[in-house]
A = this chain, B = another copy of it.
Amino acid sequence: MGSQTAEVRRGPKPRPHTRDNLIRAGVRMLHESGFTATGIKDIVAAAEVPKGSFYNYFESKEAFGAEVVDSYFETGLADLAARLGDESVKPLDRLKRYFSDRADGFKEAGFVRGCMLGNLSLEVADQIAPIRERLAEHFGTWSGLIERCIAQAQEAETISSRLPAALLAQFLLNSWEGALLRMRAEKSDAPLNQFIEVVFGSILV
Interface residues of A (CB under 8 A from B): 32-34, 36-37, 112-114, 117-119, 121-123, 125-127, 132, 135-136, 139, 162-163, 167-168, 170-171, 173-179, 181-182, 184-187, 190-191, 194-195, 197-198, 201-203
Q: Please, how many angstroms separate the alpha-carbon atoms of A117 and B185 in the complex?
A: 9
* CB <8 Å contact, B194 and A125: no
* CB <8 Å contact, A33 and B127: yes
- Give chain B residues whose Cβ lies under 8 Å from the Cβ of A163: 197-198, 201-202
* CB <8 Å contact, B203 and A202: yes
Per assembly, the copies of the chain total 2
* CB <8 Å contact, B171 and A174: no
With A36-B36, A123-B122 known as contacts, the answer to whether A181 contacts B184 (CB < 8 A) is no
